[in-house]
Amino acid sequence: MTPPQRRRRFPKASPEPAPPPPQEGQNPPEGPKKNPERLYVITGPDGAERSELDLVTLIVAHADPPPSATPEQAALLRLCTAPLSVAELSAYLSLPFSVVTVLLTELLTAELVTARAPVIRQALADRSLLEAVMHGLQRL
């Protein structure tokens, strides 16, 4: 005995034909257009001064997101459990640098995060340190 077959309520739609390739001198057609969120909705009124943040400034969170935090601020605080640069945060959240700067300024004034300059290693190591390492390796 064979199981009953189900009928579709609507027939299958035929696949759309592929668009013709662009001719020489024409721009290729754009992909599906998304309805972007308005960035001022995310950042709120921008009347306050922004902090001097650079792309390589490291951000570290001190606390969990408070209940009053916006979803973007909560995401920033969750990401910053380990030091991350502003450029990385911007990429992870898919937000422009200027928007992330405004969000971080609000978190800095609320003292929920700390901004610090990146750790720059010296071009040349200290000679005494290199000699100590060399002597330690020779003893092995």
Distance (Å, whole) CA 60 – CA 80: 5
Q: Does residue 26 surpass a pLDDT of 60? A: no
- pLDDT, average across residues 21-28: 60
Choice between 2 and 100, residue whose per-residue pLDDT is larger:
100
Structure confidence at residue 20 (pLDDT): 63
Structure confidence at residue 34 (pLDDT): 46
b vs e for 24-58, b when ≥16 Cβ sit within 10 Å of the residue's Cβ?
eeeeeeeeeeeeeeeeeebbeeeeeeeeebeeebb
The enclosing H or E element of 108 equals helix 97-109
Highest mean pLDDT: which of 1-5, 20-24, 29-33, 121-125?
Answer: 121-125
What is the pLDDT of the chain when averaged over all its residues?
Answer: 77
Structure confidence at residue 52 (pLDDT): 79
